[in-house]
């Protein structure tokens, strides 16, 4: 068989303003070109400790079990469920979009017993529904909810949901894939037990890593399991032996993606230097500039103002444009070099999802999108 005559791939330059990934800071791109070191190199072991400390700052937690999983956010989701859910455990799943639905699938596949509470897409999870579900199901062990629903651009009050869960002796699993670094997230102060995120959205790192953090309450449930965790790769006990054995003599678990971790370290160092409050304010300012620029174009938001995500703007495609919405997105991509996202599920063809995340959340990018969009309508 002859070798294919395929040359190096040079991707087109895009302004990424969809639901993720976001554009990367040049410092993060530079980190990807640093020299290779072994994943058990003594220098890399020290680097791992720094990376965990930076993640604790981003999550606002002192949890010892805070680390990046060598796989995307979907793996972080699965890690939480396979470690915390055992066969027969009742789990209340709060579903108000696509990713609440994915939580439900994880409960089923871990042989848990799901109790589903549904809210309309574009609305936050209703705490009263959770309270009622837990009163009706006193044997429930866990609650699962999305903080920032990427499919709709809606934020839910996970602090209140966590308080309700704990009042009923439940742990809470929280999806923060789109919220980490973009809006306030206080893991310790809010009492969140198992939290997962992604590297490619508000952190503006390369896709492929899932930061997670576990409270001591959650770890106690993992240690008390009757059966082994069904996933070898995502078993927290094995991962902990690699990431933190307490003696800086970590056991081999897998070959860590060294350069991706270097990129995450750099993105978190940038976040720490900016400060969380300043980062949140920058995302808010980008959102407000976009909102004010879309209004004269007759484009309104799907989500009520109180619950809108500043980093993920779900906007309603005007009825007169819905037949052309896909063509408009394609023209923005092909001719203007700008990516925005389509709606999912019942919202397909009805909304656009415009990301103002991480390094992308800058005034000049909003101006560029608004100008291009105005010329397409």
Domain boundary assignment for the chain: 15-21+275-374, 26-271
CA–CA gap between residue 228 and residue 243 (Å, rounded): 20
Residues of the chain above pLDDT 90, percent: 90
pLDDT at position 66? 96
- If pLDDT is split at 50, 70 and 90, which confidence band does 252 have? confident
Long-range contacts of 251-255 (CB under 8 A, 24+ apart): 252/40, 254/70, 255/39
pLDDT at position 123? 98
pLDDT at position 25? 97
- If pLDDT is split at 50, 70 and 90, which confidence band does 196 have? very high
Mean pLDDT calculated for residue range 90-115: 98
Residues of the chain above pLDDT 70, percent: 99
Mean pLDDT calculated for residue range 265-273: 98
Enter the CATH code of domain 15-21+275-374.
3.90.1150.10
pLDDT at position 279? 98
Lowest-confidence segment of 4-8, 117-121, 277-281 by average pLDDT:
4-8
CA 297, 303, 305, 311 torsion-angle sign: negative
Q: Note the pLDDT tens digit of each residue in 293-313.
A: 999 999 999 999 999 999 999
| Phi, psi for 295 (deg, rounded to 5) | -55, -45
CA dihedral 366, 367, 369, 371 (to 10 degrees): 160
Identify the CATH assignment for 26-271 out of 3.40.640.10, 2.60.40.2240, 3.40.309.10, 3.40.50.10860. Answer: 3.40.640.10
Q: Note the pLDDT tens digit of each residue in 144-194.
A: 999 999 999 999 999 999 999 999 999 999 999 999 999 999 999 999 999
pLDDT at position 247? 57
Mean pLDDT calculated for residue range 217-231: 95
DSSP bridge partners of 214:
65, 194
Q: Are 206 and 199 in contact (CB under 8 A)?
A: yes
Residue 207, judged by CB atoms within 10 A of its CB (0-12, 13-18, 19+), counts as: middle
pLDDT at position 218? 98
pLDDT at position 245? 53
Mean pLDDT calculated for residue range 326-342: 97
pLDDT at position 255? 83
- If pLDDT is split at 50, 70 and 90, which confidence band does 370 have? very high
Lowest-confidence segment of 1-5, 101-105, 133-137, 268-272 by average pLDDT:
1-5
| Phi, psi for 39 (deg, rounded to 5) | -75, -5
Mean pLDDT calculated for residue range 250-263: 88
CA–CA gap between residue 99 and residue 73 (Å, rounded): 11
Q: Using alpha carbons only, what angle is made at residue 31 by residues 27 and 36, rounded to the nearest 5 degrees? A: 170
Mean pLDDT calculated for residue range 245-251: 63
DSSP bridge partners of 115:
92
CA–CA gap between residue 205 and residue 4 (Å, rounded): 32
Q: Looking at the predicted structure, is the pLDDT value of residue 42 above 90?
A: no
pLDDT at position 204? 97
Mean pLDDT calculated for residue range 343-356: 96
- If pLDDT is split at 50, 70 and 90, which confidence band does 40 have? confident
CA distances from 281 to 159, 177, 183 (A): 20, 19, 9
CA–CA gap between residue 147 and residue 153 (Å, rounded): 10
- Examine residue 21 and say whether the peptide bond preceding it is cis (omega within 30 degrees of 0): yes
pLDDT at position 244? 73
Mean pLDDT calculated for residue range 332-338: 98
26-271 and 15-21+275-374 share a CATH fold: no
Summary mean pLDDT of the chain = 95
CA–CA gap between residue 196 and residue 249 (Å, rounded): 26
State both tokens at 353: 């999802």
């Amino acid at each position: 068989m002859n070798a294919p005559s395929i040359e190096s791939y040079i991707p087109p330059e895009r302004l990424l303003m969809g639901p993720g990934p976001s554009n990367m800071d040049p410092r993060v791109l530079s980190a990807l070109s640093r020299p290779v070191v072994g994943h058990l190199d003594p220098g890399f072991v020290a680097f791992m400790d720094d990376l965990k400390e930076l993640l604790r700052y981003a999550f606002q937690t002192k949890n010892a079990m805070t680390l990046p999983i060598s796989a995307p956010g979907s793996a972080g989701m699965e890690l939480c469920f396979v470690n915390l859910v055992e066969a027969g455990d009742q789990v209340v799943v709060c579903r108000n979009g696509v990713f609440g639905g994915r939580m439900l699938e994880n409960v089923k596949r871990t042989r848990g017993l799901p109790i589903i509470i549904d809210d309309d897409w574009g609305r936050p999870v209703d705490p009263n529904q959770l309270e009622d579900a837990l009163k009706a199901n006193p044997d429930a062990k866990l609650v699962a909810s999305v903080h920032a629903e990427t499919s709709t651009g809606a934020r839910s009050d996970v602090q209140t949901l966590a308080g309700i869960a704990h009042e009923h002796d439940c742990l809470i699993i929280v999806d923060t894939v789109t919220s980490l670094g973009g809006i306030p997230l206080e893991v310790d102060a809010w009492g969140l037990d198992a939290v997962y995120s992604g590297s490619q959205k508000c952190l503006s790192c390369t896709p492929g890593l899932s930061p997670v953090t576990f409270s001591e309450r959650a770890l106690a449930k993992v240690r008390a399991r009757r059966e082994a965790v069904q996933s070898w790769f995502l078993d927290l006990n094995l991962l902990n032996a690699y990431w933190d054995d307490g003696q800086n003599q970590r056991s081999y678990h897998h070959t860590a993606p060294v350069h991706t971790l270097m990129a995450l370290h750099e993105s978190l160092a940038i976040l720490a230097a900016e400060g969380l409050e300043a980062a949140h304010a920058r995302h808010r300012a980008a959102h407000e500039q976009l909102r004010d620029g879309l209004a004269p174009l007759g484009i309104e938001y799907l989500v009520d103002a109180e619950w809108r995500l500043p980093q993920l703007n779900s906007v309603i495609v005007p009825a007169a444009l819905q037949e052309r919405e896909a063509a408009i997105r394609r023209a923005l991509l092909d001719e203007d070099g700008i990516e925005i996202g389509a709606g999912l599920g019942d919202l397909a063809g009805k909304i656009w999802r415009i990301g103002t995340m991480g390094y992308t959340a800058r005034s000049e990018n909003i101006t560029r999108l608004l100008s291009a969009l105005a010329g397409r309508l």
